[in-house]
Chains A and B, each alone.
Chain A
């Protein structure tokens, strides 16, 4: 079955040149009262539709901070950020919620599944917020769980699944609303190398089917399977190279 990441209504790439992410001088300062931490000090980054970008860098360099900004889970201190051609800065809380729901699929290092409900219900959740009809939710959740190889685990709760299986549920959930871009912050960080490799293969397949992905990883071997590697140090991009295909 074909399973495109491109939005059905084709709203992506509204600025014409297909840039899903466009960042200009983005800064993020954490103000904890006494100390101010400059986590990002001026990021310029563009990601085109259909790209697979790996973000690497030492611990504390600002990778997660950047990912959270891209995913609209957090707001930047300064700079210009357009997501799919739309300026994020002017959006209110509910509009941001809509953007998170429709445009982005976020995958976390610690999965962030709701532990009390089944895998199926976890995958269904974003569609509930997106107002998808019950029948369509059912079909889509089943289809996605089949696709990540969990067709026989739909009624299991996250606690009854392995780490790799939980992360696959999280991927199915991230894909539920057919987002413009898939974001993953160290998706394999809590997994053994075998399940980590499976997840990476899944991402690669998604990319080949036309999806746009940004993945943070520590593992250079995994990073090299992406199309482009961006390296961050001390809140600045220090390297941005395309991998040979």
Chain B
């Protein structure tokens, strides 16, 4: 073909698009609409998924929580209903013997009166190990920290406090470095919880609580037996086996029937994740089907427009061929037009979706549905599919028109 360089091609293209304003608009609109619909659908799905995972992880990242309770089966000559008492020695034994353990922390809990000047409040305090912080997703705000092994071994009077409690009790959002009185001793705030979504708990929301080293807790209370302990395996799938292992170790040390699942009560939060994963899979499947249908409907729309367009343009194609345009030129021009419209439509659709997602948090619904996240590849794919459908729908009639004798094409 002897049509001159790429610049010329684009000048031609621009001229054609400009001269076919309505069809340019309709085709582009169809692609924009389809891209926006599918992108937003999946963006909101993604956002919801993420927010669900985040708030579920607010309790901790796939941890197991265990409470020593009362035996429900007789064992070694002792009747049922005996209360199990667990100490740090038992934790030490688990650390030594359990296979695949990634972290474990005891938890001692009690309500305390705390004083700040003449302000007095009641607060739920947990005595825990430093590893508890990461296991339970207790992330400090800027400038703070969770307590460390040194705080632990020196039984320092340091506290990591919830963000809501910080505001209520100390009157500021991030009062790191402040001291207050607990059980007649001064305590130093070393970290304040970074606000987080938490959709489940077992002893109150973390934002209202206070955490101190378990050694300090035991020193000021004289407490020897823990309320509960949390642990996790190296992999989420390992939790089940690990729980079995720990139950066995404790059964031997505390003398209860290893088959007695009431003696040690266990909450494996991975069950919750498993449910959520199943739910999300179903949800994504639903979105996928709706998205595909949207694509099909959009594709039919775009291909209808293309079809009408080619019919409308058969005369134009005839005239051009009468003037010496070759088949290849006619088809290439058509392909280029469709591709350009697809590109523009896809880009506009992506921008529009991103814009909607950007202003969406302003409506204050993110707490329930999360922050929608547009995926450029989804938008590109959608626009591509729509463009391809349009191309197919337009290509064959265009080819037919280009195959006619010019005199017939001109008469149509």
Query: A18 on the interface (CB 8 Å rule)?
Result: no
Residue of B20, B319, B323, B407 near A101 (CB, 8 A) is: B323
> For A121, what are the chain B residues with a Cβ–Cβ distance below 8 Å?
15
Contact B323 A173 (CB under 8 A): yes
Given A133-B4, A134-B4: A126 and B323 interface contact (C-beta under 8 Å): yes
> A117 touching B4 by the CB < 8 A rule?
no
Query: Is B325 in contact with chain A by the CB < 8 A criterion?
Result: yes
CB-based nearest A residue for B402: A93
Query: Are B320 and A129 neighbours in the complex by a CB distance under 8 Å?
Result: yes
Residues of B near A31 (CB, < 8 A) are: none
Among the listed B8, B327, B408, B410, which residue makes an inter-chain contact with A93, where contact means beta carbons less than 8 Å apart?
B327
Which residue of the partner chain, among B15, B326, B407, contacts A117 with CB atoms under 8 Å? Answer: B15
Extra pairs beyond A97-B326, A130-B2 (20, CB < 8 Å): A71-B322, A73-B405, A74-B405, A93-B403, A94-B327, A94-B328, A98-B324, A112-B319, A113-B319, A114-B316, A117-B19, A126-B323, A128-B12, A129-B320, A130-B324, A131-B3, A131-B4, A134-B4, A173-B323, A177-B324
Taking a contact as CB atoms closer than 8 A, the residue among A73, A106, A129 that contacts B3 in the complex is A129
B273: chain A residues at CB < 8 Å are: none
Q: Compute how far the CA of A228 lies from the CA of B412 in the bound complex, rounded to whole angstroms.
A: 34
The listed residue (B2, B19, B322, B410) touching A131 by CB distance below 8 A is B2
Report which of A75, A128, A133 forms a contact with B405, defined as CB distance below 8 A: A75
Q: Which of A44-68 contact B (CB under 8 A)?
A: 68
* B407 neighbours in A (Cβ, 8 Å): 68, 73-74
- In the complex the two chains form, what is the Cα distance from A173 to B324 in whole Å? 12
Kindly report which residue of chain A lies nearest to residue B19, judged by CB atoms: A116
A134 shortest CB reach to chain B, Å: 7
> Is B329 engaged at the interface, CB distance under 8 Å to the other chain?
yes
B408 — which chain A residues lie within 8 A by C-beta? 74
Q: Does A102 contact B (CB under 8 A)?
A: yes
Known contacts A114-B316, A131-B4, A133-B4; is-contact A125 B405 (Cβ 8 Å) = no
Q: Which residues of A contact B316 (CB under 8 A)?
A: 114
CB distance from A222 to the nearest CB of B (A): 24
B185 to chain A, nearest CB (A): 88
Known: A73-B407, A74-B407. A97 touches B19 (CB 8 A): no
How many chain A residues have a CB neighbour from B under 8 Å? 29
Q: Which residues from A are CB-within-8-Å of B324?
A: 97-98, 100-102, 126, 129-130, 177
Q: Given contacts A74-B407, A116-B20, A117-B19, are A129 and B319 in contact (CB under 8 A)?
A: no
- Interfacial residues of chain A within 85-112, with CB under 8 A of chain B in the complex: 93-94, 97-98, 100-102, 106, 112
B326 touches which of A73, A94, A134, A173 (Cβ 8 Å): A94
Q: Mark A128-163, 1 if CB is under 8 A from B, else 0.
A: 111101100000000000000000000000000000
Total number of B residues with any Cβ neighbor in A under 8 Å: 26
A111 shortest CB reach to chain B, Å: 10
**Contacts of A184-210 to chain B: CB distance below 8 A:** none
The reply to whether the CB of B406 lies closer than 8 angstroms to some CB of chain A is: yes
Chain A residues near B (Cβ < 8 Å): 68, 71, 73-75, 93-94, 97-98, 100-102, 106, 112-114, 116-117, 121, 125-126, 128-131, 133-134, 173, 177
Determine whether B373 belongs to the interface, using a CB cutoff of 8 Å to chain A: no
Bound together, the chains give a CA A68 to CA B325 distance in angstroms of 17
The complex places the Cα of A116 from the Cα of B19 at a distance, in Å, of 5
Contacts of B410 in A (CB 8 A): 73, 112
Query: Nearest Cβ in chain B — how far from A10, in angstroms?
Result: 20
CB distance from A26 to the nearest CB of B (A): 15
**Closest CB-CB distance, B309 to chain A, in whole Å?**
13
Taken together as a complex, chains A and B put the C-alpha atoms of A177 and B324 apart, in Å, by 10
Q: Please, which residues of chain B bring their CB within 8 A of the CB of A75?
A: 405
Complex contact A97–B325 (CB within 8 A): yes
- Asked if B321 is at the interface of the complex by the 8 Å CB criterion, the answer is yes
User: In the bound complex, how far is the Cα of B4 from the Cα of A133, in angstroms?
Assistant: 7
CA A73 – CA B405 in complex, angstroms?
6
Across the interface, name the chain B residue whose C-beta is closest to A93: B327
The docked-state distance in angstroms from the alpha carbon of A177 to that of B408 is: 23
| CB pair B3 A114 closer than 8 Å | no
Chain B, 20-38, CB within 8 A of any chain A CB: 20
Whether the Cβ atoms of A106 and B327 lie closer than 8 Å is no
Partner of A125, one of B323, B327, B403: B323
* Measured CA separation A129–B332 after assembly (Å): 13
B406 with A73: CB separation less than 8 A: yes
Contact (A112, B320) CB under 8 Å given A128-B12, A131-B3: no
User: Which chain B residue shows the least CB distance to A121?
Assistant: B15
User: Can you list 14 A-B contacts with CB-CB less than 8 angstroms, sorted by A residue number?
Assistant: A73-B322, A74-B406, A74-B408, A93-B327, A93-B403, A98-B326, A100-B321, A102-B324, A112-B410, A126-B324, A128-B3, A129-B3, A130-B2, A130-B324
Of the residues A94, A98, A112, A177, contact of B322 by C-beta under 8 Å = A112
B11 → A minimal CB distance (Å): 9
